[in-house]
A and B are shown apart, each in its own frame.
Chain A
Amino acid sequence: MLEIKNLHAKVEDQPILRGIDLTVNPGEVHAIMGPNGSGKSTLSHVLAGRDDYEITEGSVSYKGEDLLEMEPEERAAHGLFLAFQYPIEIPGVATMTFLKTAVNSQRKLRGEDELATPDFMKLVREKADQLKVSQDMLRRSVNVGFSGGEKKRAEILQMAVLDPTLCVLDETDSGLDIDALRVVADGVNALRGPDRGMVIITHYQRLLNYIVPDHVHVLSAGKIVRSGGKELALELEESGYAAYEADAA
């Protein structure tokens, strides 16, 4: 469903991605690991359509369409979801309102009718219970005053409600204690399915104990320098990234 070919991107003349190749098929979970500054977050932002980056070469096709031609909201409506490393605060906008606006904006873009409020509420309550997101949290402003764990749970809740086909999780484990990590991982695992692809970006192998990937890739200096199965993550845990940093340099 996702095919990245020779993707190059730079920000303010500084090349960050230097030729990424990656194919994600439905049902697959890919982990992208790498040291700080290797371009992991850039990749997630480029996929979601953040316009601070200039694509200088390469292509990204998503469900047979040119992803790079789409506006961020169109990508979202086509089923691409990015769980943010640092979820953004929107004061005064209740999480429930935000979710409803997002769901209906996406439906509108896809030419579907808006979801009736009772149906929507039912959907959210059900997903919220699974993720231990309280009614109180749903009433609070988006991410305002949320703890690190609450923010990440709210991200996964949004993911569950929006029901995407491609989930990109950017350092979802950062700032989580072990209990919160488990709740988030359970939430993500519940969303695994034959029609959904996932790209999990992480610095640490820890998350991958809970969300077991099908493929692991090592990103260094803007390139995927090694790919393998889930055992690659364990190997990295032992040896660290030093070898790859040397490679890239």
Chain B
Amino acid sequence: MAAVQETVEQVKGLAVEQYKYGFFTDIESEKAPKGLNEDIVKFISAKKGEPEWMLEWRLDAYRRWRNLDEPSWAKVKYPPVDFDDLYYYSAPKRADDGPLSLDEVDPELLRTYEKLGIPLREQEVLAGVQGAKVAVDAVFDSVSVVTTFKEELAKSGVIFCPISEAVQTHPELVQKYLGSVVPVTDNFYATLNSAVFSDGSFVYIPEGVRCPMELSTYFRINESQTGQFERTLIIADKGSYVSYLEGCTAPMRDENQLHAAVVELIAHDDAEIKYSTVQNWYPGDAEGVGGIYNFVTKRGDCRGKNSKISWTQVETGSAITWKYPSCILRGDNSRGEFYSIAISNGHQQIDSGTKMIHLGKNTSSRIISKGVSAGKSSNTYRGLVSAHRRASGARNHTQCDSLLIGQTCSAHTVPYIESKNSTAKFEHEATTSKIGDDQLFYCRQRGLNEEEAVALIVNGFCKEVLQQLPMEFAVEAQALVGISLEGSVG
């Protein structure tokens, strides 16, 4: 049996046991009744003690959502989601009054995050375990359970808190920016999210401030039959800078769970936002049973001149991923970047990519997409690069590489280019390659086992993107790349 064939066999065995984060935390939770109607929307809003305008916003979204159809253009297949058979709100008990101080957080929850390798105790982070300080907002099912380093961040004027808290404490900012990048009616899932979003992070970096530490949010879906609808809003005021990372995990379940998030980024003049994602939702078992449906709308608005938004994503989890982190390059000289590693294995389906919408003058964008497919998975890059009539001097370079492992997976590339300005320069490069028996044998002759060899080769393939991750997370991501392609050698 040829080496690649063998890897394929082993990769087929990729299942439950490979997913390290598949445990369930037994913790009492409070849920809204199943299903979705105006009462549920009101229930969620009331739980959060929201002002009237917020409730109205949600109800408006809900009413619009009822008239929308699920999008069907993506290259993914799944049975219809029964939106009436989901819980739209689940919160660990005692946390329903919003995040607590660390001393008050249920120790069971702290242990959960410890198991996930996420330090929530500030003194531990300070002790230098990670080498650098990282502020964390931990979202458990529908609520944020704790946010660290808030006070230290406040000293430099940075606001980092759960969005439910921001609605109370900074309503003017939320009202001004919420839905300004992803409108309520943007798409089916974004509209649903607008109606029922329960928590997520809110970040505001004031003018001229360079955020003194990495910010991050860790999302965890714990309860069964629960959808997670988080909403993240990041605003970088003039001349500011922030780097933000999100991580996601969920227990192993034989049902499919819905995760429909919306992330909005706003960069004003000369501001820069670097947004990194390490997505490791439960991907389902070897037969394709269970796993998260990750239907996410992420969009950044380079609103000001010379602003910059950079998306970096490492997508290894989820049964289905439907996600297109995009940039609207509105300000003159603004720049958008999209660096993506999408790894699919088993029966995973990924349809992901980006949109770079060039509106301002001399805007530039860069796309590097690395798709790795193994097992019986399907991996699609879908991208749009467009230049508006007035976007003179727009420039884009797209590099789109696919790597196949075995004979039963597939990779697809669907790039759209629309240019209405004759001075725009768009370049597109694409390659498709396979991990060859020769490469595997060469590595094994040097002493690497098959898993190490595959991990090394894939990490090499993804290098340009891995380099974009904040240093503290690059090592973790490299390991994840290996793990998600692990077979059961031996």
Residues of A that sit less than 8 Å from B by CB: 48-52, 71-73, 75-77, 81-82, 84, 87-93, 97-98, 101-103, 105-106, 109, 141, 158, 162
Complex contacts, B445 vs chain A, CB 8 Å: 48-49, 72-73, 75-76, 81-82, 84
Residue from the set B6, B447, B457, B463 with the largest chain A CB neighbour count within 10 Å? B447
Residues of B that sit less than 8 Å from A by CB: 1-3, 6, 436-439, 441-449, 452, 456-457, 459-464
By beta carbon, the residue of chain B nearest A77 is: B447
Complex contacts, A76 vs chain B, CB 8 Å: 444-447
User: Which of B438, B459, B460 contacts A88, CB < 8 Å?
Assistant: B438
Task: Given A51-B3, A88-B439, answer yes or no on A101-B462 (Cβ-Cβ < 8 Å).
Answer: no
Complex contacts, A158 vs chain B, CB 8 Å: 446
Complex contacts, B3 vs chain A, CB 8 Å: 51
Complex contacts, A71 vs chain B, CB 8 Å: 444, 449
Complex contacts, A162 vs chain B, CB 8 Å: 446-447
User: Which of B2, B443, B463 contacts A51, CB < 8 Å?
Assistant: B2
Selected A-B contacts with CB under 8 Å, 16 pairs: A51-B1, A71-B449, A72-B444, A76-B444, A76-B446, A76-B447, A87-B442, A90-B442, A90-B443, A92-B463, A93-B463, A97-B456, A101-B452, A101-B456, A102-B447, A103-B447
The 9 closest A-B pairs by CB, nearest first: A92-B460, A106-B447, A93-B460, A102-B446, A92-B463, A88-B442, A72-B444, A76-B447, A105-B447
By beta carbon, the residue of chain B nearest A50 is: B441
Task: Given A52-B2, A76-B444, A102-B448, answer yes or no on A90-B437 (Cβ-Cβ < 8 Å).
Answer: no
Apart from A52-B437, A90-B443: 12 A-B pairs, beta carbons within 8 A: A72-B441, A72-B445, A82-B445, A89-B439, A90-B439, A90-B442, A92-B459, A93-B459, A97-B456, A101-B452, A102-B443, A162-B446
Complex contacts, A92 vs chain B, CB 8 Å: 459-464
Complex contacts, A87 vs chain B, CB 8 Å: 442
**Is the Cβ of B449 less than 8 Å from the Cβ of A73?**
yes
The prevalent SS among residues of B at the interface is helix
By beta carbon, the residue of chain A nearest B6 is: A51
A3–B479 Cα gap in the complex (Å)? 40
By beta carbon, the residue of chain B nearest A75 is: B445
Complex contacts, B2 vs chain A, CB 8 Å: 51-52
A102–B452 Cα gap in the complex (Å)? 10
Chain A nearest CB from B369 CB (Å) reads: 15
**Is the Cβ of A90 less than 8 Å from the Cβ of B444?**
no
**Is the Cβ of A105 less than 8 Å from the Cβ of B459?**
no
Chain A nearest CB from B227 CB (Å) reads: 38
**Is the Cβ of B460 less than 8 Å from the Cβ of A90?**
yes
A161–B370 Cα gap in the complex (Å)? 32
A102–B460 Cα gap in the complex (Å)? 15
**Is the Cβ of B446 less than 8 Å from the Cβ of A91?**
no
Complex contacts, B442 vs chain A, CB 8 Å: 84, 87-88, 90
**Is the Cβ of A90 less than 8 Å from the Cβ of B456?**
yes
Chain B nearest CB from A188 CB (Å) reads: 18
A34–B438 Cα gap in the complex (Å)? 24
Chain B nearest CB from A161 CB (Å) reads: 10
A149–B1 Cα gap in the complex (Å)? 33
**Is the Cβ of B456 less than 8 Å from the Cβ of A93?**
yes
Chain B nearest CB from A234 CB (Å) reads: 32
A49–B437 Cα gap in the complex (Å)? 12
A73–B441 Cα gap in the complex (Å)? 9
Complex contacts, B441 vs chain A, CB 8 Å: 48, 50, 72, 88
Complex contacts, B446 vs chain A, CB 8 Å: 76, 98, 102, 105-106, 158, 162
**Is the Cβ of B438 less than 8 Å from the Cβ of A105?**
no
A105–B443 Cα gap in the complex (Å)? 10
By beta carbon, the residue of chain A nearest B446 is: A102
A118–B445 Cα gap in the complex (Å)? 25
A226–B462 Cα gap in the complex (Å)? 50
Complex contacts, B449 vs chain A, CB 8 Å: 71, 73, 105
Complex contacts, A81 vs chain B, CB 8 Å: 445
**Is the Cβ of B447 less than 8 Å from the Cβ of A90?**
no
A101–B444 Cα gap in the complex (Å)? 11
A158–B441 Cα gap in the complex (Å)? 15
A97–B448 Cα gap in the complex (Å)? 12
Complex contacts, A73 vs chain B, CB 8 Å: 444-445, 447-449
A87–B439 Cα gap in the complex (Å)? 9
A92–B403 Cα gap in the complex (Å)? 13
Complex contacts, B456 vs chain A, CB 8 Å: 90, 93, 97-98, 101
Chain A nearest CB from B97 CB (Å) reads: 49
By beta carbon, the residue of chain B nearest A86 is: B438
